[in-house]
Amino acid sequence: MRRMHFSHGSKEEPEINLIPFIDVLLVVLIFLMLSTTYSKFTEMQLRLPVADVDAQRDYPKEVIVAVSADGRYSINRTVLAERSVEAVADALGAASNGNKDNVVIISADATVAHQSVITVMEAARRAGLSQITFATQSAGRAGR
């Protein structure tokens, strides 16, 4: 009869593979970073400065350009006779008094042609006025 010899001399200790554990932790970390919203809370006591009424004169003035549904232009409530880019640019230059910091507010009718608004924007560029904004009304007042 033959005997089987088992070696008892070298025992291998089990290894713990950390790579899958690290992968799972990184996925959880990325999830938490993307889903967390950060809010800034200041704990400093601040005293804000007081504004003078006279200092408002230094702010840029507004040039209001109204575009009617039929494509007529009005600058600061003065109706223009012509509809060309040159005529609108000249009127914008006169209304701004050469002040390039003026803000052009385009108040266009909802049904006006897109080209009419582009004409005002091009005229403002030619007049050297780069600050343009659009006037809108709230959805509650639109039906009135």
> How would you classify the pairing of strands 73-75 and 78-79?
antiparallel
> pLDDT by residue (tens digit) across 23-62?
999 999 999 888 887 666 555 555 656 655 554 454 458 8
- Taking only the tens place, the pLDDT of each residue in 100-137 is 888 898 888 888 888 988 999 999 999 888 888 888 77
Q: Which amino acid is it at 30?
A: I
- CB-CB contact of 61 with 102 (8 Å): yes
Q: Is the pTM of this model over 0.85?
A: no
Domains and their CATH numbers in the chain: 59-134 (3.30.420.270)
